[in-house]
Amino acid sequence: MKNMTEKLPKSKAFFWIIFSTLIISGFNYFVITKIKKYRQTRYVLEKYNIKTIYQDKKDVNLDLNLDVNYLAEMLDLSFDKPTNIFLFDEKEAAKKLLKSPLIIDATLKKMKPDCIFVDYTLRKPKAALFDFDNILIDQEGYIFPKDPFFKDFDFCKIYLNLDEFKGFEKIDTKEAKLALEMLNKLESSGFSDLVKITMLDTSRAFLQSYGKREIVLQIDEVVSINKEEKNVQFVFPKILRLSTDNFLEQLSNYASLRKKIIKDYENQASSFEVTSDVVRFNPKTIDMRISKLAFIDQ
C-alpha cells in the first residue's frame, strides 16, 4: 500500500520554516515598534494633558466641595504648563493634598485620557477661635482657615487666651479640651437647641485662684413676633457665668427659669416699637456660680 501522506522535499520544508519565521518576526517587530512609538509619543500628545479634576460628592454633613482651583494649585496643575497624565504620580499628589491643614486624607486616580479623580476627607469644624481671625477648630483640636472654604457658615466662637499663632497645628491645652468637651455636652443635653450659643470662654477655667475660676457662656435668646404684618426677631443676649465643677447643673437651672424669661421677653417685645426686622438688646449678665442662686446684672 502506498503512503497517503506525501513528504515535502527538504528544500521546500526549509523554505516554509524560514518564511514562517520571517513573517512572525516581522509581525512582532511591527507590533513592538508601534508600542514603542506610542509610549514615546503619548508623553507629548495634547490629548493626554490633564484638563479636568473630578471630585466625589459633597460631604453630607458639611455640604461642601473644595474649589477646583484650590485643588489644582495644591497639585501643581496649570493650563499654562499642562501635566501629562502618564507623568502624574497619584501617591505623590496625595502627599501634596495632605499638606493642606483642611484635608485629613486623600486618594487620587487617573482617568485617561485627561482627567483625574480626587477623593478626600475634610476636617469638620466644631467652632471658630476668637483668639485669631479666620481660624476654625475641629473636635480633635486641629485648627485650619475658615475663609474661603466655610465663609457662609456661622460657628460658635471659643476664647482660650492663646498668646500667639504658631501655625496650623493641634491645640492641646486644658482650656481647649474643656471648651470642645463642653460644646459636645451642650449639644447632647439639648441646650444648644434651645438657644444660640455665640461664645464660650474657658480661658479662666484653670486659674490658680479658685475664686477667680469661671466659664463664661454667651447665648442669644431669640423671640419672633409678628408686628405690622411682618415677622420681627428680638434678640436678647445673655452672658452666663458658670463654675467649672457643675456647669451642667447650672445650665439646667437656667433652662428651668427659661419659660418665665421668654414670657417676659415676649411681653417686652409686643410693646416695643420696631423700625427693622431684627431688634437686638444690650446683653445681661447672669452669675450662676453659687448653688441655687442667680445674680442678674440689670
In this predicted model, what pLDDT tens digit does every residue of 196-250 receive, in sequence order?
A: 999 999 999 999 888 889 999 999 999 888 877 788 888 999 999 999 888 888 9
Residues 158 and 178 in one domain: yes
Over range 20-43, report the average pLDDT: 59
Q: Are residues 68 and 162 in the same domain?
A: no
Whether residues 130 and 118 fall in one domain: no
The predicted pLDDT at position 6 comes to: 54
Give the phi and the psi of residue 200 in degrees, each rounded to 5. Answer: -130, 120
Q: Which of 63, 94, 122 is the last residue of a domain?
A: 122
My answer on whether 108 and 228 are in the same domain is no
Q: What one-letter code names the amino acid at 217? A: L
Inside any domain, residue 20: no
Region 51-55: what's the mean pLDDT? 91
Task: Give the domain-ending residue among 81, 101, 122.
Answer: 122
Helix (H) or strand (E) holding 69: helix 68-74
* 189 shares a domain with 144: yes
Dist CA 131 CA 139 (whole Å): 17
Helix (H, G, I), strand (E, B) or coil at 78: coil
> For 75-109, what is each residue's pLDDT tens digit?
999 878 888 998 899 999 999 999 999 999 999 99
Q: Mean pLDDT over all residues of the chain?
A: 84
Q: Is residue 64 part of a domain?
A: yes
Is 160 within a domain?
yes
Torsion sign, CA atoms 145, 147, 150, 156: positive
What's the CA gap between 293 and 174, in Å, rounded? 28
Kindly report the number of other CB atoms within 10 A of residue 256's CB atom. 9
**Are 118 and 169 found together in one domain?**
no
CATH number at residue 221: 3.40.50.11690
**Is residue 110 included in any domain, yes or no?**
yes
d(CA 250, CA 254): 6
Instruction: State pTM to two decimals.
Output: 0.78
Kindly state whether residue 139 falls inside one of the protein's structural domains: yes
Residues 116 and 146 in one domain: no
Please check the confidence at residue 23 and state whether its pLDDT lies above 90: no
271's grid cell: 410693646
Asked whether residue 197 is assigned to any structural domain, the reply reads yes
**Domain of 115, in residue numbers:** 47-122
Total count of domains within the chain: 2
Q: Are residue 141 and residue 214 in the same domain, yes or no?
A: yes
Tell whether the model's pLDDT for residue 173 goes beyond 90: yes
Residue 258 has pLDDT above 50, yes or no: yes
Q: 206 and 244 share a domain?
A: yes
Q: Which of 122, 151, 186 is the last residue of a domain?
A: 122
What's the rounded Cα separation, in Å, for the pair 276 and 19?
A: 97
Output the CA torsion 36→40→42→43 (10° steps): 150
Judged against a pLDDT cut of 80, whether residue 20 lies above it is answered with: no
Do 102 and 186 have their domain in common?
no
Residue 271 — pLDDT band, cuts 50, 70, 90? confident
Which of these, 104, 209, 215, 86, lies nearest to 161 by C-alpha position? 215
Inside any domain, residue 279:
yes
Give backbone dihedrals phi and psi of 72, rounded to 5 degrees, phi first.
-60, -40
- Of all helices (H) and strands (E), which one includes residue 260? helix 247-270
Question: Taking a C-beta distance cutoff of 8 angstroms, is the pair 147, 128 a contact?
Answer: no
Residue 221 shares a structural domain with residue 238: yes
Q: Give the CATH number for residue 111.
A: 3.10.20
Q: Is residue 85 part of a domain?
A: yes
- Same domain for 144 and 276? yes
